Amino acid sequence: MSVVALDSVSVAAGGKTIVDGVSLEVERGEWVSVLGPNGAGKTTLLRVLAGTIGFRGEARLEGRSLGRLRRRDVARLVAVVPQTPVVPAAMTVAEYVLLGRTPHLSPLAQEGAEDRAAAAAALARLELEELAERELGSLSGGELQRAVIGRALAQQAPILLLDEPTTALDIGHQQQVLELVDELRREEGLTVVAAMHELTLASQYGDRIVLVNGGRIVAEGAPAEVLTAERLEALYGARVRIVGEGRELVVVPVRPR
């Protein structure tokens, strides 16, 4: 059974169709990277899966219809690492990670021992122990991204959505974050759906690449099948050369002469 199943999902806002009849299935433990030019509908597609935007069509998480799930139940299935998280600067890392327990608490309750333990485990897993009492406003970009992933991990949801998780990180931290997510995926059995910006990194980490444009899926498959020079030129209006093969693809921009 697919963990995520979208069937002819469409989202319209302000008279404009942002996601247009997308059907997609994701298996348990799979990493699917969603690629596409700016404005292709990547973020909106993730918002459909997170249950934070209305849509037409049918979406199922763990076989349950998304439209019938309560918001809390969705949050127990799906954890989100947003592209640009809203950061309450004076909140400590530990308090922030504890927020991930929200869907497991009854609406007006405070965290119990189990929640504190889950947050502590998430902090330890992301090697955030030293930073636990630091305020979010004082963290570097890479540290902050780990805190955000820590919050998602404390949520203990089987599906992890990442919206361009490496934007604003340098190449070293990009690698660290993606390696970390891949480790979590393997060790915790998570299913990962990630909107990606960086084509080369997407080819290295995704099992499968879904290429979207204008709200539709235009190509889908293994990185080497999907990432071809012709297709990227058509989609991004970019002139590129693909170097390497298999999981070692590099997308090289070619300067027009």
Structure tokens at 19: 């996601």
CB of 198: closest distance to other proteins in angstroms? Answer: 23
Q: Which stretch binds other proteins (CB under 8 A): 18-26, 82-90, 222-230, 248-256?
A: 82-90
Q: How far is CA 122 from CA 33, 81, 244, in A?
A: 24, 14, 37
Structure tokens at 29: 């433990």
As a whole number of angstroms, the distance between CA 156 and CA 145 comes to: 17
Q: Which stretch binds other proteins (CB under 8 A): 56-64, 100-108, 203-211, 245-253?
A: 100-108
As a whole number of angstroms, the distance between CA 96 and CA 128 comes to: 12
Nearer to other proteins, 28 or 116 (CB): 116
Contact 185, 160 (CB under 8 A): yes
Q: Using the rule CB under 8 A, is 95 a contact of other proteins?
A: yes
CB of 163: closest distance to other proteins in angstroms? Answer: 10
Q: Using the rule CB under 8 A, is 145 a contact of other proteins?
A: no
Select from 11, 59, 79, 194 the one that contacts other proteins (CB under 8 A).
Answer: 79
Q: 102-131: which residues touch other proteins (CB under 8 A)?
A: 102-103, 105, 107-111, 116-117, 119-121, 123-124, 129
220: left (phi over 0), alpha (psi -120 to 50) or beta: beta
As a whole number of angstroms, the distance between CA 124 and CA 132 comes to: 10
Could you give the string, one character per residue 45-74, with x where binding to other proteins holds by CB under 8 A and - elsewhere?
A: --x--xxx------------------xxxx
